[in-house]
Amino acid sequence: MLRPKKPSPCILTVKDAFYLTPHMIRVVFTSPELASRPVGCEGANCKIFLPEVDQSADDLIEQIENGPRPTVRTYTVRNFRKDALELDIDFVAHGDEGPASAFAMRAKTGDFIGFRGPSDVKIKDYYADWYLVAADMSALPVASATLEAMPRDAKGLAIFEVQSEDDAQEIDAPEGVEIRWLVQSDPHVVSRAQEAMMRATELPKGVIQTCIAGESGVIKGLRGFLSNETDIPKQDIYISGYWKIGLIEDEHQIQKKLDV
């Protein structure tokens, strides 16, 4: 069967940008090309391409298509309002050393990026008796979108580890999913708090699905726990390292491939 052709990369223009919480910036993008993207893509990842200083939008598209490869980073579609041709991406504000973080910290109306995606959503079917969600700030968007997409009678536990108490967000999760917030003020130290909380939780019998993502060192511990100490089948587990302390994204992607 022929797979539907992926939409070409396009330019998204900043409509608005604001701090949701002290370390999270929401950038609202717009483009007529969003008319070709599917509704319900919240939680799917996308590639963003960052322009050079003074680069034109046409030139960025030409570079995405024909090289040399521009600076590219992976992000999550947080909200998509197809009718309004608006798409939100929530960026962790982790300083100027990351080009994507730096872009978000300075984003203003009229700025632009290149965009490719979205990919498929991470969890396509919700069939579990109980859900286990865990995320740091980089994965708050995928975890929040997943909680919002769950059946309203879903049950489970969501563990979030954020940089300050004020980084906790309102999430429209099912009532039966308990949300617990942990604070790790220095994201550059591998935290074991999520793992400790998971170990201290008696996982119920029945089908469990997971949506877990965050810093790769933290994820390594959580993956070890899930695969060695639970009997959740692999196909019910979504777990992914979204960034790694000390590595830029391209280096992290290479390391992930070597680790497989």
Q: Which of residues 97-136 bind ligand FAD (CB under 6 A)?
A: 97-101
Tell me how far, at minimum, the Cβ of 17 lies from ligand FAD, in Å.
13
Output b/e per residue, 47-75; b: 16+ Cβ within 10 A. Answer: bbbbbeeeeeeeebbebbeeeeebbbbbb
By CB under 6 A, name the one of 170, 175, 246, 258 that touches ligand FAD.
Answer: 246
| Residue 245 makes contact with ligand FAD by CB under 6 A | yes
By CB under 6 A, name the one of 42, 88, 90, 195 that touches ligand FAD.
Answer: 90
Of 149, 210, 218, nearest to 188 by C-alpha is: 218
Of 225 and 238, nearer to ligand FAD (C-beta) is: 238
In angstroms, the CA 179 to CA 193 distance is 15
**Helices assigned H by DSSP within 14-150:** 57-66, 99-106, 140-149
In angstroms, the CA 109 to CA 151 distance is 36
Distances (CA, A) of 162 to 121, 207, 225: 23, 28, 21
Of 197 and 247, nearer to ligand FAD (C-beta) is: 247
Which one of the spans 6-14, 68-76, 165-173, 174-182 is the region binding ligand FAD (CB under 6 A)?
Answer: 68-76
Of 97 and 170, nearer to ligand FAD (C-beta) is: 97
In angstroms, the CA 191 to CA 217 distance is 8
What string marks each residue from 187 to 226 as x (binds ligand FAD by CB under 6 A) or -? Answer: x---------------------------------------
- For residue 151, say if its preceding peptide bond is cis, omega within 30 degrees of 0: no
**Helices assigned H by DSSP within the chain:** 57-66, 99-106, 140-149, 193-199, 216-229, 249-259
| Residue 75 makes contact with ligand FAD by CB under 6 A | yes
Of 74 and 230, nearer to ligand FAD (C-beta) is: 74
Tell me how far, at minimum, the Cβ of 83 lies from ligand FAD, in Å.
22
Binding site for ligand FAD (CB under 6 A): 45, 73-76, 90-92, 94, 97-101, 137-138, 141, 187, 242-249
